[in-house]
Amino acid sequence: MEQQPLFSIIIPTYNRPERLTTCLESLIRLNYPCDRFEVIIVDDGSEVELDSLIASFRSQLHLTLIRQANTGPATARNTGAKHAVGKYLAFTDDDCTTTPNWLATLAARFTTAPDDTMIGGRTLNALPDNSYSTASQVLIDYLYSYYNSGGKQLQFFASNNFALPAVGFQAIGGFDNTFPLAAGEDRELCDRWLHKGYKMIYAPEVQVYHAHELSLPKFWRQHFNYGRGAFCFHKNRAKQKSEKIKVEALPFYLNLLTYPLSSTQISPLVSLFICGLLFISQVANVTGFFWEKAQSNS
């Protein structure tokens, strides 16, 4: 009798066939039984067809391709989850590559974790020569280190590297489909997960590499959109009459802006440049927040 997959890997994709190819190649290299996981690709309205690309991987992976109109990654992930049969849903993105032990380390963590646990892994920058990509990853690293120290409650995991029980995902209603951008939807999901009384565990040995190539305009747009997503998150919180989101004190932001200086992996000159980019990211974030607020009030 064929075993049911333990994991359903869900990957939303949009107009990035080359990146998706690299992502799928990394899944072939997983040192985990291939009959214990399935891969669900959700094409979020791409302008390029993916059938021939997917066909080349079908002999090596248990693959499902689902197409939908372009409605954003939150909806795409929910679509994938509806078709999933695994006990656990593992989310990553089409511009990520998994390390060979990604699923094995997730499985080991779930073996010892309570049933209502979300496990978030570590994301590594695959483009160290791109300062904008490095700065965006440094920001995530700072948030993870801040909320994972001193007994603080973890607040969120980025949706390119976390896994959770399918039952729990459905119990909280999945991702909020009103988030049209890749911005804030993962934070909002984690907030509802915690509000339900469920647990979050950070597992740094669960690793993926993220190859999100950025320029200065793309970097600004990314963090502007994060600000827009933050406003949507605040607005949803207000509708649910949940407690207000705590705004971090000034030292949080000062430590963020100087965080790159503590890195031994980056040269001092590049570290200073990244400090400047982190300042720009916060300006873009605030600008996006108030732009979305103005749009909402108009």
pLDDT tens track of the chain, all 298 residues? 356 679 999 999 999 999 999 999 999 999 999 999 999 999 999 998 899 999 999 999 999 999 999 999 999 999 999 999 999 999 999 999 999 999 999 999 999 999 999 999 999 999 999 999 999 999 999 988 887 666 667 888 999 999 999 999 999 999 988 877 777 789 899 999 998 999 999 999 999 999 999 999 999 999 999 999 888 888 877 776 566 666 677 888 899 999 998 877 778 889 999 999 999 999 999 999 999 888 877 7
Which of 261, 102, 292, 96 minimizes the C-alpha distance to 183? Answer: 292
pLDDT at site 200? 94
pLDDT at site 103? 97
Question: For residue 193, what are its two tokens?
Answer: 């997960």
pTM: 0.91
Identity at 29, one-letter amino acid code: R
pLDDT at site 2? 52
Report the distance separating Cα 33 and Cα 270, nearest Å.
Answer: 42
pLDDT at site 66? 96
Give the pairing type, strands 96-98 and 199-210. Answer: antiparallel
Question: For residue 174, what are its two tokens?
Answer: 């999945």
Give the three-class secondary structure for 275.
helix
Which of 167, 176, 297, 146 minimizes the C-alpha distance to 236? Answer: 176
Residue matched to tokens 């998706």? 20
pLDDT at site 156? 86
pLDDT at site 40? 98
Beta carbons of 219 and 127 less than 8 angstroms apart:
no
Identity at 38, one-letter amino acid code: E
Beta carbons of 75 and 43 less than 8 angstroms apart:
no
- Backbone φ and ψ of 26, nearest 5°: -70, -30
Fold type of domain 7-212: Spore Coat Polysaccharide Biosynthesis Protein SpsA; Chain A (3.90.550)
Helix (H) or strand (E) segment spanning residue 199: strand 199-210
